[in-house]
Structure 1
Amino acid sequence: MRVIGGKLRGLRLNPPNNLPARPTTDLAKEALFNILQNQIDLEEIRVLDLFSGTGNLSLEFSSRGASLVTAIDRNINGLNFLKDMAKKHGLEGIKTYRADVFKFLEMETEQYGVIFADPPYDLNRIPEIAKVVFEKDLLLPDGLLIIEHQSMQNLSNHPAFVEQRKYGHSSFSFFKKGLAAAE
């Protein structure tokens, strides 16, 4: 696992082996950021990383110039690894919170340019993520919600759904705020 772009490009990430996380593969992460670079200016963007796990995506966004990355996870070991990496590499824009993602979303009032969610694949509440994000109006205008999930899962029934991109057993489903408002 490594940082693919930005000022920390090539940095190898070696999180503790005991983390209950399934990090996004380098191949899928590279494809995701190729898509994002064509749609969003990643400089100075505010990002919410839900189910942040090892902090792999938080570090990638911050390396590419995000002004703020808020990482949410229940596992303190993953958050501590992310905090340590951020401090070691001078990434002051990464903030970590130990919380249940759904409880956090219910209380959150800030808006973000990108919300990325990488929940455990066996979580039966994955479709609720888009529902809550749009009900709580947590995306900035033209903001983007990305949910990583198993390729066999279909999240296209949400009105803000844009597309699903498959990378082996993993997929990214994209949702745009402007579409939900137009419906």
Structure 2
Amino acid sequence: MRIISGKFKGRRISPPKGLPVRPTTDMSKEALFNVLNNHFSFEGLKILDLFAGTGNISYEFASRGSTPITSVDGDFGCVKFIKKTAEEYDFNIAALKSDVFKFLERNNATYDIIFADPPYNFDQKTFEKIVTIIFERNSLNEDGMMVIEHSKYTKLDHMMNFSFMKSYGGSIFSFFELNNGEKEVDNENEDIEDEEE
């Protein structure tokens, strides 16, 4: 796992073995941030990383100057590793051990970008619940964006505030924005080969 851009570009981060994670591959991550780079200047963005796992996505935002970053995961080992890495690199990342749904239900903060990478084996309704809670709780800032990573077997393009999707290998990124009634919906798909690390 490596940081692909920003202050710590090229830096490799090696999480301990045995963590219950499926990290976003470097190629998918690079493609994701290329999309986000067309919408945002990362410096100072407030980020929420849900099902954060190893912290892979959080470190990428931190390397690009986003702050503060909140990383939420239910696994103690993952949270411990994120805290250790954040301290090592002086990243402004608050790693919280919590059930993601409980966190969202009680969260009152708002964010510029919310990224969620739930287990691919969650059922359709569980993925939909993530979208519903975030928008019912008004967790996204007005000009913000939410991204959910999922497999091709999960469909989210019917959900509220869906904007567009991108396909990279076996991963799909669904993007959500607060619709103002004037924005055109871009159901753009892009297929590229993805590689496992």
SS at match of 1:126: helix
- One-letter amino acid of the structure 2 residue matched with residue 101 of structure 1: V
Residue correspondence of structure 1 range 101-140 to structure 2 within 5 A: 101-124=100-123, 125-140=126-141
User: SS of 2:7's equivalent?
Assistant: helix
Provide the TM-score with structure 1 as the length reference.
0.96
Identity, % of aligned positions: 44
Q: Which residue of 2 aligns with 1:11?
A: 11
Q: Does 1:164 align with 2:165?
A: yes
Shift of 1:80: 1.0
Unaligned runs of 5+ in 1: none
How far off its partner does 1:2 sit? 0.5
Answer with 65-74 or 150-159: which moved more: 150-159
- 1-side partners of 2:80 and 2:3: how far apart? 18
Question: 5 Å matches for 1:29-178?
Answer: 29-91=29-91, 93-124=92-123, 125-177=126-178
The Cα shift of 1:159 comes to 2.5
RMSD over aligned CA atoms reads 1.1
Normalised by the size of structure 2, how large is the TM-score?
A: 0.89
1:96-151 deviation per Cα after TM superposition (whole angstroms, max 9, x unaligned):
11000000000000000000000000112111111110000001111100000002
Detail structure 1 runs of 4+ shifted over 3 Å in the superposition. none
Structure 2 residues not aligned, in runs of 5+? 183-197
Aligned partner of residue 104 in structure 2, secondary structure: helix
Aligned residue pair count: 180
CA distance in 2, matches of 1:159, 1:15: 35
Q: State the match for 1:23 in structure 2.
A: 23
Distance in 1, Cα, partners of 2:41 & 2:161 = 21
In structure 1, the residue corresponding to 2:82 is in which secondary structure? helix
Give how far 1:152 is off: 2.7
Residue 78 of structure 1 and its aligned partner are, at CA, apart by: 0.9
